Amino acid sequence: MTSKAKKVIVIVALIISVMFSFALGFIVRTLTLDSDLKNAYTLLQKYKQHYYFDDGDIVTDIENALLDKYSTFYSKEEYDAVKQRAKGESVGIGIAVVSNTTRIDYIVINSPCDRAGVKAGGNIVSVLDGNEYKPVSTYSEFISVVNATSLGNSVSFKVDYDGDIQEFTVVKQKYSTSYVVYQDSENCYSYSDINGDMERTLKDNYCTIFGDDVAYIKYTAFNGTKSGLYGSSGQLADALKIFKENGKTKLILDLRDNGGGYMDILSEVASHFINVEDGRKAVVSVAVDKNGKRQEFVSAKSVYNSYGFEKIVVMCDEGTASASEALIGAMLDYDANNIVSVVVSSCTLNNETVYRSYGKGIMQSTFANLDGSAVKLTTAQIYWPISNTTIHNKGITTEISNKVVNAQKETALETALSLMN
């Protein structure tokens, strides 16, 4: 037998061995499944073989039938997009509207719309579709044109600012997300990579209503897992550096519409805001799973005392959720000097004016599949670190703490400023 023939036989034998091992492993695993999993496997088989209304999308059927609203299946493409967003890498033009309207709610900082000078407050009235502008009466009519536009190509649209019709042309592209805006009575900064690297960028909309000792920081999401100024925690740390260098002692931390994000980023951010000895780490949030197992999320080394805070007012609303609510809970629990207050903006719920944050006190974990898809499942309930408070389905309200103050949505900033005295 030739050497070449021997090699072929060895390779074939290895392949057969691997296939046999895989098949044997599958059989053993199937035989050792508990009764619920065996029944589920059999049910899925029969469903695919016989169910008359099966539309070929069994994943969505299972998702709708079994999972809570925070859990979901991701296709490979969807999961890839999730991972990109987690890094702080976005694709599009960076515009968001008030629900069920064409009124621009906010512009994502450092996005194509931000760079083009598009401002919030106006109504999108038309979009260039082909060679002519077409009227827009719903957001879906506008976004369908944006979605159909290839990366690198431009989108043109018109916005009505109280009778002043302005035309904008922006390029749909990838961009790095800016999560933080810093303002005081003299300066305003955000973060941009327009020059190639993410860096602090001076803006021209500083706020003269702030006192000489007051600064304002808007923090939009606990996302951006990259290091330095490409990550949200790095941007926040840099904004607090400005706060310290400019001699400010009173801070308004605006978490309105901050829907949360990653618990690891919460641990980094909390190190700036929990009143423990500098250099010490402390528990900032506790997750308890269905079996009662506790997972403690511990802050990075505290730098709280280095800022010399005299007052911190946190602003929140019905869009403040998850990690944002957990941060507020940690700040309240560690507020030994009684310098933290929370302003909750009004919202309308079931035709009634209420004052509460969103109320998401549960944690999701994502499990990746071999094909690149993934499933995100609710895996634990979240509790505040010292008081053991959970705000799930309740939100942060005046019933949670006497440090919580209600405010009308339109005058919430004025309420926050009034608490500085």
Percent of the chain, pLDDT > 70?
Answer: 88
Q: What is the pLDDT of residue 114?
A: 92
pLDDT at 41 over 90: no
- pLDDT tens for 64-113 read 677 899 998 898 999 998 999 899 888 999 999 988 899 999 898 899 99
Q: Is 365 exposed, middle or buried (0-12, 13-18, 19+ CB in 10 A)?
A: middle
Percent of the chain, pLDDT > 90?
Answer: 72
pLDDT at 15 over 50: no
CA-CA distance, 161 to 163, in Å (whole number)?
6
Which one has a higher pLDDT value, 205 or 161?
A: 161
137 in Cβ contact with 95 (< 8 Å): no
Section 182-204 average pLDDT = 90
CA-CA distance, 46 to 38, in Å (whole number)?
12
pTM of the model: 0.84
114: closest CA among 224, 221, 193?
193
Q: What is the pLDDT of residue 341?
A: 98
Q: What is the pLDDT of residue 334?
A: 98
Q: What is the pLDDT of residue 10?
A: 47
pLDDT at 353 over 90: yes
Highest mean pLDDT among 8-22, 27-41, 174-188, 277-291: 277-291
pLDDT at 222 over 70: yes
Q: What is the pLDDT of residue 99?
A: 80
Section 237-260 average pLDDT = 97
pLDDT at 166 over 60: yes
Tell me the domains of the chain and their CATH numbers. Answer: 94-171 (2.30.42.10), 178-418 (3.90.226.10)
Q: What is the pLDDT of residue 357?
A: 98
